[in-house]
Structure 1
Amino acid sequence: MRGLRFALLVSVVALTACSSVSNQPDPSPLPVIESKVQPKLVWKNEIGSETEFRFQPVFSGDLVAVVGGKSQVALLDRNSGQTKWKITLPQEVAGGVGVGSGLLAVGSLKGDVTALDVSNGKIVWTVKASSEVISAPVVANDLVIVRSNDGKVTAFSASTGTMKWIYQRQQPPLQLRNYAAPIVAEGIVYVGQAAGRLSALAVDDGRVLWEAPIALPRGASELERVTDIVAPPVVHADMVCAVAFQGRIACINTKNGSLIWTRDVSSWSGLAIDERYVYVSDVKGHISAFERNTGRSVWKQEKLAYRFVSGPAVLGNQVVVGDLEGYLHYLDPEDGSLVGRLATDGSRIYLAPQSNGSQAVVQTSKGGLYLLGAQ
């Protein structure tokens, strides 16, 4: 138990060191831009209050599922932003939200995984994961798939909460707290791991299909050798891409786990992908674009340096990122130039806007919700 406490403590310290303003140069001033795009705000709402946890709303057809501070969970109408229902759970929600199979699933610091009926918000079942759940559950293939902070991935039956399978691999002694949810695509669960590994699991039974090294630990000290994948991977056609802190970005063949290309990039914010490019926000607040098939560098935008830029999202014909002051910045995907800006409530946007291509929803650390439309 003492070793576990130490590992968790070091994990928190490491993450704090990575995200503390005092350990970074001063944020760049808000850049002057030539506004070529007028951001389209469809509606705004709010949930809960300011929280230390990182929440990302989720689209589900004509609905938006959200969680906020003080254990609040809500379902909103995507078209109007009006709240359909809103409840407060008995345990503090820490792991974001997943939606599917008529359920809304959340996790907690105590390892509780709770499934709610989407139609009315009533609790369907609650089960225990192996440790705290700080990443969002994923609901797919009639399963609720949860990544707990000990690195285990557990699949529960969506209808009953019965455990169907569990996956685990040995964890390094020093790691960052991982807020990244698994990604499910074409019957495969992709999980970013500590020590720079990307695992591909069969969604039905959790068996390992392949594992690939996204980054290799380097350096003399344990801290220097931390190369965790702490942002969700992205999938397009037969390619999955992931990025590691103090590591690199890599794109992998989904069929066999073979490496397609890599570039040296350190990120805890994450990636986005479209037909042509892979976009990444790095630890310095720079946003870069790489050619999807070859990894060729296309552009780098450095004017938002050290503004704690969120992961990128592709919204219509623009790329959108948030920052520490709650601004949403619009970039031209052709050259990375800043073409538009939208202010929210002034609080930090930790996670990338959740985009379905034509709309994106973003949540601030104060619980502000903003639905954006494409131009």
Structure 2
Amino acid sequence: MRLSVIIAALLLVACGGSPSRLELNPPAELSDFTPQLQVETRWARQLGQGVGKHMIALPPLVERDRIYAANHKGRVESFELESGASLWRTELEAAINGGPGDGGDVLLFGGDAEVIAVAKRDGTLRWRAPVSSEVLAAPQRSGNVVVVRSVDGALFGLDASDGRRLWRYSQPVPLLSLRGVGEPQIEGTIVVAGFDNGRLVAVSLQDGRPLWETVLAVPRGRTELERLVDVDARLMVRDGVVYAAGYQGRIAALTLDSGRLLWTRDFSTWSGLTVSGREIYVTDAEGSVWALARSNGGTLWKQTALRGRMLSAPAVQGGAVVVADFEGYVHWLAREEGSLLARVRVEDWEALYPVPSYWPHNGYREDRAVLAAPQVQDDHVYVMDKRGVLNALRVLPD
């Protein structure tokens, strides 16, 4: 039976009285600095109990004047982007482990061995389609094909109109792996996805036919933990080049058409990267933020002030790089040299609104960890923490 574990930055509490990772490797203390940006909280909204104790990332989806978000228990809600007013809400009565993904006129969600599509207009259920195992990443759509990556190493192509299976591709899964799956990326007629065995694969969007395969990381070490090489981090495609990174492996640039390596360097990340301009921004497994040159992977700067704080994947907002951490702090860093520009904490929803009487007191109500990359639109940043508190943050003009 496959063992799936949360290790490295995700191991918050150990068993049997053993010290936690935070005790063995305490996170960096947040130091004082003079903010260069002013940030305000525009609004905050609550989606039930969020993801509770589950270590799954459910980033909101921003689209024009709306934002869509979901919690683990199946609540999906649409809000007006400017005011945070609720436009509609639906209860799917099914687990949501990944999404929402943008499916054109529908929202796409990964569940317990199924994919669910609901209408963006009003949240009505469009279709449900079975797959072979749990789906932890947002399904992706291009044309009439929805692409889904499941935790058992399978990649599916589904008909976007009704969820009917079109094709399946799979890779073997190691005995031990990180609990997480990176979203497949679609560029034209090519789908690129990373797998738990350290491989990066491109397949045809139309029929799932393999086009190329590249080994991004080779298992090393004597223990199963040392040999983890999952390519679960978010990857990106820009200008015909794939940028990808794995855990205890490498970060690399590859040609989209053939998978030919353009450059590589040793690197370890579980959260992912983003590409903007001539730079790659990435958070490593230890919690440092890096800026690398797209041309050759060379280091432009490295910010270590947030080490050990279990950072999300980065996002870019104008002249800043934005990351969030395990205590719900959102940090803005200067793109040019990585200096700290601003810091705010996600709002305590309970201080803003009455606590629902049906919500029992338990530990995860205080867990403000932001697991997914911040979502950026113009001068706003949107983040949702583990409690299910969705925050709209605005960078004020100078």
The residue identity in structure 2 corresponding to 1:118 is K
Q: Of 74, 90, 95, which residue of structure 1 is paired with 2:93?
A: 90
Check whether the contact 2:172–2:197 (CA below 8 A) recurs between aligned residues.
no
* 1:28-43 equivalent positions in 2, closer than 5 A: 28-39=28-39, 41-43=41-43
Deviations 1:233-264 (A, max 9, x none): 01221221111111121111112211111122
Deviations 1:15-49 (A, max 9, x none): 14552231251111112122111125444322121
Secondary structure of 2:83's counterpart equals coil
* Matches of 1:207 and 1:342, distance apart in 2: 46
Secondary structure of 2:197's counterpart equals helix
Q: TM-score, normalising length from structure 2?
A: 0.87
Q: Of 256, 260, 264, which residue of structure 1 is paired with 2:266?
A: 264
What corresponds to 1:364 in structure 2? 385
Matched, 1:26 2:26: yes
Count of aligned pairs between the two proteins: 365
* Matches of 2:188 and 2:310, distance apart in 1: 33
Check whether the contact 1:103–1:158 (CA below 8 A) recurs between aligned residues.
no
* Matches of 1:141 and 1:39, distance apart in 2: 38
* 1:144-183 equivalent positions in 2, closer than 5 A: 144-183=146-185
Secondary structure of 2:94's counterpart equals coil
Deviations 1:313-355 (A, max 9, x none): 1111100000111010000011111111111036001111123
Secondary structure of 1:133's counterpart equals coil
* Matches of 1:18 and 1:288, distance apart in 2: 17
Check whether the contact 2:333–2:340 (CA below 8 A) recurs between aligned residues.
yes
Q: CA deviation at 1:59?
A: 2.2
Secondary structure of 2:97's counterpart equals strand
Secondary structure of 2:177's counterpart equals coil
Check whether the contact 1:65–1:99 (CA below 8 A) recurs between aligned residues.
no
The residue identity in structure 2 corresponding to 1:365 is K
- Structure 2 vs 1, CA of residues 367 and 300 (structure 1 numbering), >3 Å: closer, same or farther? same
* Matches of 2:239 and 2:376, distance apart in 1: 18
Q: CA deviation at 1:128?
A: 0.7
Q: CA deviation at 1:222?
A: 2.5
* Matches of 2:343 and 2:187, distance apart in 1: 32
> Structure 2: which 5+ residue stretches go unaligned?
13-19, 349-367
Matched, 1:47 2:47: yes
Q: CA deviation at 1:300?
A: 0.5
Q: CA deviation at 1:151?
A: 1.1
The residue identity in structure 2 corresponding to 1:144 is V
> Structure 1: which 5+ residue stretches go unaligned?
none
The residue identity in structure 1 corresponding to 2:4 is S
Check whether the contact 2:149–2:181 (CA below 8 A) recurs between aligned residues.
no
* Matches of 1:154 and 1:92, distance apart in 2: 19
- Structure 2 vs 1, CA of residues 162 and 244 (structure 1 numbering), >3 Å: closer, same or farther? same
Secondary structure of 1:11's counterpart equals strand
What corresponds to 1:77 in structure 2? 80
Q: Of 198, 202, 207, which residue of structure 2 is paired with 1:205?
A: 207
Check whether the contact 2:44–2:389 (CA below 8 A) recurs between aligned residues.
yes
CA-atom RMSD in angstroms? 1.8
* Matches of 1:60 and 1:179, distance apart in 2: 24
Check whether the contact 2:77–2:87 (CA below 8 A) recurs between aligned residues.
yes
* Matches of 1:185 and 1:43, distance apart in 2: 35
* Matches of 1:119 and 1:202, distance apart in 2: 31
What corresponds to 1:100 in structure 2? 103
Deviations 1:202-260 (A, max 9, x none): 22222222122222221122221111011120122122111111112111111221111
Check whether the contact 1:136–1:179 (CA below 8 A) recurs between aligned residues.
no
The residue identity in structure 1 corresponding to 2:93 is P
Matched, 1:66 2:69: yes
* Matches of 1:287 and 1:99, distance apart in 2: 28
Query: Percent identity, aligned pairs only?
Result: 36
Check whether the contact 1:60–1:100 (CA below 8 A) recurs between aligned residues.
no
* Matches of 1:355 and 1:241, distance apart in 2: 20
- Structure 2 vs 1, CA of residues 362 and 187 (structure 1 numbering), >3 Å: closer, same or farther? farther
Secondary structure of 1:195's counterpart equals coil
Q: TM-score, normalising length from structure 1?
A: 0.92
Secondary structure of 1:264's counterpart equals strand
* Matches of 1:365 and 1:78, distance apart in 2: 21
* Matches of 1:40 and 1:276, distance apart in 2: 30
